[in-house]
Amino acid sequence: MKALLVIFDGLGDRPVKQLGYKTPLQVAEKPNLDKLSVTGIKGIMDTIAPGVRPGSAPAHLAIFGYDPYKYYTGRGIFEALGMGLDIREGDVVFRFNFATVDEEMRVVDRRAGRIKRYTEDLAEALNTIEIPGVELIFKEAVEHRGVLVLRGEGLSWKVSDVDPGKTGFKVKMCKPLDGSLEALRTAEIVNKVVAESYRVLKDHWVNKDRISRGLPPANIILPRGASISTKVKGFKERYKLRAYCVAGGTLYKGVAKFVGMEVLNVPGATGTYGTDYDAKVHAAVRALKDGDFVYLHFKPTDLAGEDGDFRRKVDIIQRIDKALEPILSLEDTLVVITADHSTPCSIKTHSADPVPIMICGEEVRRDGVKGFDEISAARGGLGRIRGLHLMPILLDLMNLTEKYGA
């Protein structure tokens, strides 16, 4: 028995007045998900715990069976892994934004006008910065985003962000979050890096060009989300499963790599509204021939929720449903459909609302609940579970668990 885990990012929602007080998932026409629903068991899932608003990375860790309160240190490490950086145990990793500040270090634009071009040139310039006793690695990501790696002895990830989170405020000083000398030293290094980044970037040709065109310069970096690289037992060692990942966003690829999945490069898988749904589904189906477990991730449902665009969310659900048709013919495979968190269009961010989940397969108990949405799933035989419960349930259905006790 194999398993296909399909995650619609941010799928869960709240009733929308314009949709007759139904959720986008309730309104969407989804014949393939409806067909699947009669072959399995439904429920709702708190990916972290009831009442906890999940971040995407800790939610995924929980779904994969890794307690986020133990293994999650911050988002930076997953972004770095997803970008293909060589991350070593003990490295301290930050996410950062290219941002715009004035001469008084007051933040004018946290995203430097969502800069899209020549950030690789800015990262190259940043990589000339030298701080005694530590190796610095800067790498640009999508648009204004990037990753900073600190490598060396005596470092700690227990330090604060410098990003004030709002425009009009000065860049914060990085501070230690515990009383250790390592945290104090790391905070001092980060403050030096931020100051040096302004020195290096303020007169860079990319920014001179942007200023000449009336665009905000990317004249500083704002590190945040410090995290540390640690080794964990991967899927192969922990579950005896060869696992593959099909995703577009670097965060999701990074979490998959962290837990030992092999990330497949799928042309057209962008993690944006323009992602190629069909290509991703076909890649996942092919991966099941060699692998035991395949994780298939779709990001656009979350993007629509964050944009507050409930009609677009309905449309995306319908497009993904259409693309999922090939999975209806899978044999000897458990198919799991769920989400990492809810992203209600009304609040445009993550919420603690539980997500719907269904597990389908020939030998799965059928609960008689037809259809798949937040309300129907709540009436299903699976009940209400936590994210950490999913992998043990799947392993048992795959007949891979051992009896407890005599």
User: Whole-angstrom Cα distance, residue 143 to residue 158?
Assistant: 27
Residue 356's contacts (CB-CB under 8 Å, 6 or more residues apart) are 11, 12, 25, 42, 43, 44, 45, 337, 338, 339, 372, 373, 374, 376, 377, 378
Amino acid 74: pLDDT: 87
pLDDT at 106 over 90: yes
Q: How far is CA 208 from the centre of its chain?
A: 34
Mean pLDDT over 332-347 rounds to 97
Q: What is the per-residue pLDDT across 141-162, written as a single tens digit (0 to 9) for each?
A: 878 989 999 999 999 999 999 9
Q: Does residue 229 carry a pLDDT above 90?
A: no
Across the chain, how many H-helices and E-strands are there?
Answer: 15, 13
CA distance 399 to 23: 36
2-70+232-397: CATH class: alpha beta
CA distance 148 to 395: 37
pLDDT higher than threshold 90 for residue 230? no
pLDDT at 231 over 90: no
Please give the model's pTM, rounded to 2 decimal places: 0.88
Distance of CA 392 to the CA centre of its chain: 22
Domain ranges for the chain, please list them: 2-70+232-397, 80-228
Phi, psi (rounded to 5 degrees) for 302? -70, -40
SS3 content of the chain, % helix, strand, coil (to 5): 35, 20, 45
What is the average pLDDT across 27-53? 97
pLDDT tens per residue across span 54-98: 999 999 999 999 999 999 988 889 989 999 998 888 899 999 999
